[in-house]
Amino acid sequence: MNWLTKFLQSSIGKKVLMSLTGLFLCSFLIVHLIGNMQLFKEDAGLAFNVYAVFMTGNPVIKFISYGLYACILFHAFWGLYITSQNRKARPERYEVVNGGANSTWSSRWMGVLGTMILIFLVVHMTNFWGRYKFTKMPYKQYIEDLSTGAIDAAESEALDVKKMQFTQGNYEVTIIKDLYVVVADAFKQWWYVLLYVVSMAALSFHLIHGFGSAFQSLGLNHSKYNGLIKFLGIGVFGIIIPVLFAAMPVYFFFQQ
Interface ranges with ligand HEM (CB under 6 A): 32, 36, 52, 55-56, 65, 68, 117, 121, 124-125, 128-129, 132, 179, 183, 196, 203, 245, 248-249
Give whichever of 97 and 119 is closer to ligand HEM, judged by the CB atom: 119
All residues at 6 or more sequence positions from 166 whose CB lies less than 8 Å from its CB, including other chains = 172, 173
Q: Which residues pair with 139 in a beta bridge?
A: 156, 177
Q: Which is nearer to ligand HEM, 127 or 141 (CB)?
A: 127
| φ and ψ of 142, to 5 deg | -110, 135
Q: Which is nearer to ligand HEM, 99 or 130 (CB)?
A: 130
Q: Which is nearer to ligand HEM, 24 or 171 (CB)?
A: 24
In the complex, what is the shortest distance from the CB of residue 118 to ligand HEM, in angstroms, rounded to a whole number?
9
Walk across the sheet containing 171-177 and list its strands.
151-156, 139-145, 171-177, 163-168
DSSP state letter for 165: E
Output 97 or 198, the one with its CB closest to ligand HEM.
198
Other Cβ atoms less than 10 A from the Cβ of 123: the count is: 13
CB of 158 to ligand HEM, least distance (A): 18
Measured distance CA(252)–CA(256) in Å, rounded: 7
* 17-36 burial code (b ≥16 CB/10 A, e <16): bbbbbbbbbbeebeeeeeeb
- Is there a contact between 249 and 197 (Cβ–Cβ < 8 Å)? yes
Please report how close the Cβ of residue 249 comes to ligand HEM at its closest, in angstroms.
6
Minimum distance of ligand HEM from residue 218's CB (angstroms):
21
Closest separation in Å from C-beta 47 to ligand HEM = 13
Cβ 165 vs Cβ 67: under 8 Å: no
CB of 187 to ligand HEM, least distance (A): 8
Q: How far is the CB of 3 from ligand HEM (least distance, A)?
A: 31
Tell me whether residue 50 or residue 143 sits nearer to ligand HEM (CB atom).
Answer: 50
Question: If you write DSSP's letter for every residue of 30-63 in order, what string do you get?
Answer: HHHHHHHGGGGSSSTTHHHHHHHHHHHH-HHHHH
Using an 8 Å Cβ cutoff, are 14 and 75 in contact?
no
Whole-angstrom distance, CA of residue 42 vs CA of residue 48 = 11
By beta-carbon proximity to ligand HEM, the closer residue of 139 and 196 is 196
